């Protein structure tokens, strides 16, 4: 999740981007295409600016660029043109790289804040200052309700695939919902930082390891498997991961996969809920709030 705020000038126009043409509700047939063209121009400009940066670590310019991209992705007016924008040949061509840039930026942001929290004299107070803490709270609550509305009892044993260096969701699942969470990340540094944070914050019920989901033994013991939006960033990798879970999880186990919808697909891969190998989709939730990720809940049949 990359809920970064947008920086705007005094006029309200996002700085550094082409000015948007005025659109009036006068009934002319070209207003929609003009708006779509404006959004395409913004996407191309933001992608170019991010791709030109040598370092995507947090800082005023990087935060501003990602902030404007996220603001555009969740803006209701721009979202009305999502189908046209995403089908634009130039946008379609750059989309895989744009998502990779967003993934890199998100990792650097989490790593920065994990180290900042660990260095603080009061780690809990510092974590609460993380600018998007409330967004994680809102998303985790939405996800928990999406799951508990489908089963008689809430999950207790959870595997989180792609937990990252700042595992806020896992900590919330343990602290607020009584889950035991095994956290898995392919980056050793992410697993190390996540474990150090849990210790510094006195959080219990959390374990951390480095590896891939395909290497985990005993998958049948979990009630719920979380897939971070960036776990299996490429479509083929995501499909392979889902197929493995479908084969190895116990029948009835739930899989919660974070996805995206509409222009939020600029930021994260969009998961087709009708194409989850080895799983049956039970529910899909598309927020229209500041929460960026969609939620797909599926079940191992049997």
In a domain, 168, yes or no: yes
Q: Which two tokens stand for residue 153?
A: 């009892």
In a domain, 19, yes or no: no
In the DSSP assignment, the letter for residue 216 is -
In a domain, 211, yes or no: yes
In a domain, 31, yes or no: no
In a domain, 33, yes or no: no
> Tens digit of pLDDT per residue, the chain (302 long)?
444 333 333 233 333 333 333 333 343 344 457 889 999 999 999 999 999 999 999 999 999 999 999 999 999 988 899 999 999 999 999 999 999 999 999 999 999 999 999 999 999 999 999 988 998 999 999 999 999 999 999 999 999 999 999 999 999 999 999 999 999 999 999 999 999 999 999 999 999 999 999 989 999 999 999 999 989 888 889 999 999 999 999 999 999 999 999 999 999 999 999 999 999 999 999 999 989 999 999 999 98
Q: What is the pLDDT of residue 239?
A: 92
Q: What is the pLDDT of residue 33?
A: 72
In a domain, 255, yes or no: yes
In a domain, 187, yes or no: yes
Q: What is the pLDDT of residue 132?
A: 85
Domain count of the fold of the chain: 1
User: What domain range includes position 264?
Assistant: 133-299
Q: What is the pLDDT of residue 63?
A: 95
What CATH number is attached to the domain comprising 188?
3.40.50.150
- Residue-wise pLDDT tens digits, 238-271: 999 999 999 999 999 999 999 999 999 999 999 9
Q: What is the pLDDT of residue 79?
A: 86
Q: What is the pLDDT of residue 234?
A: 85
In a domain, 139, yes or no: yes
């Amino acid at each position: 999740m990359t809920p970064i705020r947008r920086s705007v000038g005094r006029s309200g126009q996002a700085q550094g981007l082409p000015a948007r043409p005025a659109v009036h509700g006068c009934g002319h047939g070209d207003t929609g295409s003009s708006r779509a063209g404006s959004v395409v121009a913004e996407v191309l400009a933001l992608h170019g600016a991010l791709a030109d940066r040598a370092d995507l670590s947090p800082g005023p310019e990087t935060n501003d660029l990602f902030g404007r991209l996220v603001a555009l992705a969740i803006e209701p007016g721009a979202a009305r043109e999502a189908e046209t924008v995403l089908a634009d040949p130039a946008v379609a061509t750059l989309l895989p790289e744009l998502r990779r840039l967003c993934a890199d930026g998100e990792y650097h942001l989490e790593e920065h804040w994990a180290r900042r929290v660990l260095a603080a004299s009061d780690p809990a107070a510092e974590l609460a200052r993380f600018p998007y803490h409330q967004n994680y709270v809102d998303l985790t609550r939405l996800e928990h309700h999406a799951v508990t509305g489908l089963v008689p009892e809430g999950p207790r044993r959870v595997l989180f695939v792609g937990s990252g260096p700042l595992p806020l969701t896992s900590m919330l699942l343990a602290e607020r919902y009584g889950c035991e969470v095994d956290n898995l990340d392919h980056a050793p540094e992410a697993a190390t930082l996540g474990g150090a944070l849990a210790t510094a914050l006195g959080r219990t019920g959390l374990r951390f390891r480095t590896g891939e989901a395909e290497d985990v033994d005993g998958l049948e013991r979990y009630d719920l498997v979380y897939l971070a939006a960036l776990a299996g960033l490429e479509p083929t990798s995501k499909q392979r991961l889902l197929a493995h879970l479908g084969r190895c999880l116990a029948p009835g186990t739930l899989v919660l996969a974070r996805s995206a919808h509409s222009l939020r697909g600029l930021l994260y891969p969009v998961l087709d809920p009708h194409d989850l190998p080895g799983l049956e989709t039970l529910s899909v939730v598309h927020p229209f709030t500041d929460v960026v990720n969609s939620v797909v809940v599926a079940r191992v049949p049997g």
